[in-house]
Amino acid sequence: MSVYDAAIVDTELSKKTSVFGLHLSVVIGIVIGVVIVLILFVLSLCFTAYRRCSSRKAAAKLSHKGGGEITPVVSKEIQEIVHNAAPNHQPVVAQVVPEIQIDIGNVEHKVVFSDRGPSSGESRATCGTETGSVGGSGSLPEVSHLGWGKWYTLRELEAASNGLSDENVIGEGGYGIVYYGMLADNTRIAIKNLLNYKGQAEKEFKVEVEAIGRVRHKNLVRLLGYCVEGAYRMLVYEYVDNGNLDQWLHGDIGEISPLTWEIRMNIIIGTAKGLAYLHEGLEPKVVHRDVKSSNILLDRQWNPKLSDFGLAKLLNSDRPYVTTRVMGTFGYVAPEYACTGMLNEKSDIYSFGILIMEIITGRSPVDYNRPKEEVNLIDWLKMMVGNRKSEEVVDPKLSKRPASKVLKRVILVALRCVDPDAQKRPKVGHVIHMLEAENFLSHDERQIVQDLSSSQRER
């Protein structure tokens, strides 16, 4: 290009355009910048999709660790409610808690270990060995002020989980990533690595440790220990090796479900006993706030264990409720809590009632793939009972149907748990009594059926 041509190009680029009076060269630069940003955004979406796909494949590999039946993998994602929902079970647009992905292999997410002791001004890692085993040695981590459980080092948990590899992922969501691991003594564990989204890792870590750190109950997943090191906040649980209830109810399990009626009743009653311990056996009581099928883990004998206490709230006996931001899973959240943010144990009872219905019917709480009148599980079940079609609601994948009397008893217990008036919902101890009683209260049965029949006629 000649000097003359270059001068012409320079003159053209210096001309002002109609775009805010900017020079042509500036406009071109902005366009190029926008194109680059769009390309990077598309690449980011592709990378995220690839990560999720890899995690699900890894979960499928690990779902049958230890032998036995293969645990079905469910790909559906349930939206999390983080604001007030509409009453009367009307569908709402729920804000989704973001699923934050971080590359554990990145240098900035690693903690550098050193054999030298801390220099002045440096603090030592606050995780490591079991409480009470630390002597005067300066090479060991400091002891937790909590006074219970085992404190694991990051190095220990990385060794147990193959370096927190994708192949060991068994679950992930807005809270973080869960890895399968095996300690040096062959103890199988689940490691929840909390992701620090707006400080959420610190909050959830404290909540879970406070809520179930000292809890020991056969129907609650046991928290074995934890790790606090650098930016890491990790919780270490016993490993429950038969997947979760959501997978067995809604996953690809074939024409006949392995969950017989007896197994389903065992899951319902076992979950209720775990809730009873939280509500009535502790002070302060623990409101779980996220009772749902995917949080019910199952062992090889189909015994249920309630898990994931990241949203739990502690409630003193002198307080009837606590006001908090609405959190939970769409379809399970009690209407009064969704509307007002006022939370107590009756909110858990409502969620448990929905869970009973889900176990009986094999249907999701909300399913937009069904006809309009069947989208909402609770409305559909009320309609069926009101029309005296209770026996038609049973999961078609059950090989053997329950006795009519038993089925009606369980359905009516579920309906009492989801009473729109929270004060009329039974306590969980009463729920257990009703589920185990041979002779259910006939007056309650007649009254509920009569009310539902009347409401159907009014429609």
State the catalytic residues.
290
- CA–CA gap between residue 422 and residue 381 (Å, rounded): 19
- How far, CA to CA in Å, does 408 sit from each of 40, 269, 415, 439? 57, 16, 10, 11
Positive/negative CA dihedral, 373, 379, 383, 384: positive
Contact 360, 407 (CB under 8 A): yes
Q: Please report how the helices 404-417 and 428-436 are oriented relative to each other, as an axis angle in degrees rounded to 10.
A: 170
Contact 197, 98 (CB under 8 A): yes
- CA–CA gap between residue 285 and residue 347 (Å, rounded): 13
Residue 225, both tokens: 């220990």
- CA–CA gap between residue 18 and residue 214 (Å, rounded): 69
